[in-house]
Amino acid sequence: MSAVPETAARQPRAWPGAYGDEARPRVGFFTDTSVCIGCKACEVACKEWNRVHDSIQGFSGSSYDNTLALGANTWRHVAFIEQRKPAALDGEAAADSLVQLAARRQLADEAGVETHEGEGIRWLMSSDVCKHCTEAACLDVCPTGALFRTEFGTVVVQEDVCNGCGYCVPACPFGVLDRREGDGRVWKCTLCYDRLRDDQEPACAKACPTDSIQFGELDELRERADARLAELHAAGQGEALLYGADPGDGVGGFGAFFLLLDEPEVYGLPPDPVAATRRIGGVWSAVGAAAAALAAGIAAAFLGGRR
């Protein structure tokens, strides 16, 4: 899948090199959804800290989720997935509609068949966030320099620079980047850049009651995640998987990655995200002196125009 040499994929471009002595270890989130209780403290703590706009909408009908997706006004978003996995009535498919199931259960009822109700339902909860990709297409396509890679290796939109051009919006394979209605600028998780600069952990991770959201240095988080995955597998939860922990994936690995209890699609996440910049002509796929020079030229052209 990946055409990028491993060495290039493991580290974001321009980091840590650009920062020299100022560079800090790369940090991120490990969101362990196996202990998420769906309380949404992360959504609120994020909004409180970053003074994100509220947007009261109606009842969505989507389980307990009424904010529905990441966006300009929701930088942490908790997804709720109700799953029925019938244990009884052998031989039936697992993913029937509710109505079919109801009908079948009634049938069983009439026939006097005992159905064991004790098993067969899961309620998955997962707090989603900007992935702070190693290969961040949003950053690569930003013409104004509003998006930048911080000294912590995270990806931040600068509100004082963003002019609302929206180039970054389609570039994101996760649909994270979003323009705010009214103001037109793009807003997303900054991984609490201001707090990081003061040795404080991001607001969501600090609030999280069960430590489902863990903040730390990425290398250490990946080790922690591997151990947790092994633990769950040993405990018989073979379906558990890591999402975005692999530097060899289409975005070079996430700065904010996840332990999921089902396939990413189930949570509304792309199974195989690829940085949009890889698709458009492979500009970044061949790393060499010439390409670097070309890139520098392009960047310089943008820089010239932005300040």
Partner 1 sequence: MGDGNGKPGRRLPPLLRQLRDPLGLAFAARSRRSETLTPRTRTADEVVRSICPYCAVGCGQRVYVKDGEVVQIEGDPDSPISRGRLCPKGAASESYVNSPLREYRVRYRAPYATDWQELSLDRAMDMIAERVIRTRAETWEEADAQGRRLARTRGFAWLGGATLDTEENYLIKKLFTALGAVQIENQARI
Partner 2 sequence: MIVIQGSNMAECHPVGFQWVMEAKLRGAKIIHVDPRFTRTSALADIHVPIRAGTDIAFLGGIVNHILQNDRWFEEYVRHYTNAAVILDEGFEDTEDLDGFFSGWEPDRGQYDNSTWSYAGTGPVAAGGHKEQGAAVSGEQAHGAHGITLERGRPPQEDETMQHPRCVLQVLKRHCSRYTPEMVERICGIPRELFLEVAEALCENSGRERTGAFCYAVGWTQHTVGVQYIRTAAIVQLLLGNMGRPGGGILALRGHANIQGSTDIPTLYNILPGYIPMPHGHSAGSLDAFVRSNAPETGAWGSMKAYLVSMLKAWFGDAATGRDEFGFGWLPRIDGDHSNYATFDRMLDGEVKGFFAVGENPAVGSANGKLHRLALSRLEWLVVRDTTMVETATFWKDSPEIETGELRPEEIATEVFFLPAAAHTEKDGSFTNTQRLLQWHRKAVEPKGDARSDLQWIYDLGRRIRRRLAASNEGRDRGILALTWDYPTQGPHGEPDAEAVLREIGGRRADGTFVARYEELADDGSTSCGSWIHAGICADGVNQAARRKPGGEQSWVAPEWGWAWPANRRILYNRASADAAGRPWSERKRFVWWDERQGRWTGHDAPDFVAEKPPGHRPQGGAKGMEALRGDEPFIVQSDGRGWLFVPTGLMDGPLPTHYEPHESPFPNPLYEQGQNPVRQRFHRRENPYNPTFPDQGWEVFPYVLTSYRLTEHHTAGGMSRSVAYLSELQPELFCEVSPELAAERGLEHGGWATIVTSRTAIEARVLVTDRIRPLRAEGRAVHQVGLPYHWGGRGLVTGDVVNDLFPLALDPNVHIQEAKAATCDIRPGRRPRGPALLALVEGYRRRAQGRGTP
In the complex, minimum distance from the CB of residue 302 to partner 1, in angstroms, rounded to a whole number:
6
Residues 6 or more apart whose CB falls under 8 angstroms from that of 166 comprise: 179, 186
Q: How far is CA 302 from CA 139, 175, 279, 286, 295, in A?
A: 13, 24, 21, 21, 11
Give me the least distance between CB of 223 and partner 1, in Å please: 20
Binding positions for partner 1, rule: CB under 8 A = 13-15, 17-20, 22, 24, 39-41, 43-45, 48-49, 139-140, 145-151, 156, 158-161, 192-200, 203, 206-209, 211, 292, 295-296, 299-300, 302-303, 307
Closest approach, Cβ 279 to partner 1, in A, equals 19
Inter-residue contact 76 to 204 (CB < 8 Å) = yes
State which residue, 10 or 123, has the beta carbon closest to partner 2.
123
276 binds partner 2 (CB under 8 A): no
Stretch that binds partner 2, among 22-30, 94-102, 156-164, 194-202 (CB under 8 A): 94-102
For partner 2, the binding residues in 7-46 under the rule CB under 8 A are 35, 37-41, 43-44
Site string for partner 2, 53-92 (x = CB under 8 A): -xxxxxx-x-xx-xx--------------x-x--------
Shortest distance, position 103 Cβ to partner 1, whole Å: 38
Subset of 214-253 contacting partner 2 (CB under 8 A):
none
Q: Which does 116 bind (CB under 5 to 8 A by kind): partner 2, partner 1, none?
A: partner 2
Binding to partner 2 by residue 122, rule CB under 8 A?
yes
CA–CA distance from 106 to each of 88, 97, 103, 111, 249 (Å)?
A: 13, 14, 5, 9, 46
Nearer to partner 1 by Cβ, of 23 and 89: the residue is 23
Q: How far is the C-alpha of 79 from the C-alpha of 232, rounded, in Å?
A: 21
Residues of the shown chain interacting with partner 2 in the complex, contacts defined by CB under 8 A: 35, 37-41, 43-44, 47-48, 54-59, 61, 63-64, 66-67, 82, 84, 98-99, 101-103, 105-106, 109, 116-118, 121-125, 209-211
